[in-house]
């Protein structure tokens, strides 16, 4: 197969696996009554919680599923802006196409020209980085390859966080140094659940290769960044599609959702084994 054909096929796979769109909540009945962080899937014209998704794939057939994420924080004094992070891939015996991580992001514009906080560098479709580069950066803040490092830097954005300040989507500042809360925006991008749960490890260990082997059983990895902006009532919805198939998983993180002072846990769904 020619290089041009290979790139074309790769691009089609990337687009088909997790095409995403930003939407308001008009199409989701009762969205304002849902809890912050509700994750739904579309069924027969309505919406059901993702906890009910597993029986829908009992026949073992791959299918495209439409999901919705609801941010709902009416008690916040200002309309929340945030980033929804969507990670997909294949694990287990079906994980045969390993090697690179696909990066997907829309080219957003600033909501207001006067706000210099938001930064969305132009990012072309079809961009990928090596697994090692992706994992070293988000697990250890280590740049393993200069070219991939530049791609990751362009992929990430800066947005107006809930405290009113600018925050990069790859900000590595831990939530707290003194309460065993070392999670950060950057660690939430990790495909290693332990890193997402506890935060990044020391850079010192990265030079010895610790943690790099975790990514090997994962294939067809893709990471998508979606911006959301809540309305005056604190409500926002993000609707996106993903192709589910045997061995597949999907994980989401809202970088600005909090329980008290700390960020909430990653939500995930995996194809039943």
pLDDT at 1: 46
SS3 225: strand
Q: Give the per-residue pLDDT at 207.
A: 58
Domain boundaries, the chain: 3-270
Q: Report the percentage of the chain scoring pLDDT > 70.
A: 84
Torsion angles phi and psi, residue 266, rounded to 5: -65, 140
pLDDT of residue 193: 92
d(CA 84, CA 256): 8
pLDDT of residue 210: 56
Model pLDDT, residue 116 = 78
CA–CA dist 74, 84 (Å, integer): 18
- HSE-CB of 260 using CA atoms within 13 angstroms: 5
pLDDT digits (tens, 9 = 90+) for 143-174: 999 999 999 999 999 999 887 789 999 999 98
Q: Are 243 and 90 in contact (CB under 8 A)?
A: no
Q: Encode pLDDT of 190-229 as tens digits.
A: 999 989 998 887 656 545 655 444 544 799 999 999 999 9
Placement of tokens 């004094």 in the chain: 77
pTM above threshold 0.75: yes
pLDDT in tens, 87-138: 999 998 888 777 899 999 999 888 877 677 889 999 999 999 999 999 999 9
* Residue 267 scores a pLDDT above 70: yes
């Amino acid at each position: 197969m020619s290089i041009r054909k290979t790139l074309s096929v790769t691009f089609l796979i990337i687009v088909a696996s997790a095409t995403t769109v930003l939407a308001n909540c008009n199409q989701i009945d009762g969205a304002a009554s849902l809890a912050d962080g509700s994750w739904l899937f579309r069924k027969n014209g309505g919406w059901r919680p993702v906890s009910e998704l597993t029986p829908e794939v009992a026949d073992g057939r791959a299918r495209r599923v439409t999901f919705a994420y609801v941010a709902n924080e009416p008690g916040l004094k200002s309309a929340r802006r945030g980033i929804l992070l969507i990670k997909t891939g294949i694990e287990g015996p079906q994980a045969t196409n390993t090697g690179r991580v696909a990066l997907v992001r829309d080219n957003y514009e600033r909501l207001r020209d006067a706000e210099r906080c938001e930064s969305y560098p132009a990012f072309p479709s079809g961009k990928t980085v090596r697994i090692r580069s992706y994992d070293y950066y988000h697990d250890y803040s280590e740049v393993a390859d200069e070219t991939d490092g530049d791609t990751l830097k362009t992929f990430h954005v800066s947005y107006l966080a809930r405290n009113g300040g600018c925050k990069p989507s790859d900000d590595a500042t831990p939530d707290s140094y003194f309460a065993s809360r070392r999670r950060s925006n950057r660690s939430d991008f990790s495909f290693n659940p332990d890193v997402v749960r506890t935060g990044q490890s020391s850079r010192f260990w990265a030079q010895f290769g610790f943690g790099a082997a975790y990514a090997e059983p994962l294939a067809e990895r893709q990471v998508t960044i979606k911006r959301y902006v809540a309305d005056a009532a604190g409500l926002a919805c993000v609707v996106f599609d993903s192709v589910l198939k045997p061995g597949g998983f999907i994980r989401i993180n809202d970088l600005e959702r909090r329980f008290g002072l700390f960020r909430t846990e990653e939500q995930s769904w995996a194809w039943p084994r």
